[in-house]
Homo-oligomer: A and B are copies of this chain.
Amino acid sequence: MSDMTKEDVTAMILSAKKTAGMTWEGIAEKIGMSPVWTHSAAMGMNAFPPKQAALMVSTIGLPQEAESVLSESPTKIWEQAVPTDPCIYRFYEIVGVYGPTLKALIQEKFGDGIMSAIDFDMSVTRVENPKGDRVKVEMSGKYLGYNSW
């Protein structure tokens, strides 16, 4: 039962990253992916394609066995239906307050459907601002229209 798990590999990555003083942006650049996707896959919330898994192993210095673990499809689980960490909660709050608005505008611009959370990408950037710098989050997902049959 001593097989390496995604949790094990995540712990190794966090430990090596701290020791080496790397950043997520730096790791992302080395494996040729975006920082959002790289962090999420390193946390075990996305699967590394073979090439990126290999790069990850060499970049971070992981044992060889980790490579196949990084490529496994994860089961995405979060424990808190309502997250308590203030940084994450604010995004939950935005969904609560603006969810119906996002739906209404997607319908107005596209028709009856949704933005995919699977065929999806996201970025986080820092925008300088004299009144205080701003966090900019951009997400885009393919529009999927409801089927009628």
Within the complex, which residue of B34, B75, B105 is in contact with A124, where a contact is CB–CB below 8 Å? Answer: B105
B82 and A75 contact, CB distance less than 8 A = no
A70-113, CB < 8 A from B:
73, 75-78, 80-113
A138 and B136 contact, CB distance less than 8 A = yes
Count of chain copies: 10
Within the complex, which residue of B81, B82, B96, B104 is in contact with A76, where a contact is CB–CB below 8 Å? Answer: B96
Q: How far is the CB of A31 from chain B (nearest CB, A)?
A: 10
A105 and B11 contact, CB distance less than 8 A = no
Closest residue on chain B to residue A122 by CB atoms: B98
Interface of chain A: mostly helix, strand, loop or mixed = mixed
B96 and A141 contact, CB distance less than 8 A = no
Q: CB-CB < 8 A to A133: which residues of B?
A: 110, 142-143
- How many of A's residues come within 8 Å of B, CB to CB? 99
Q: CB-CB < 8 A to A59: which residues of B?
A: none
A144 and B131 contact, CB distance less than 8 A = no
10 contacts between A and B (CB under 8 A): A3-B14, A37-B149, A76-B96, A87-B103, A89-B93, A94-B117, A118-B144, A119-B144, A132-B144, A135-B140
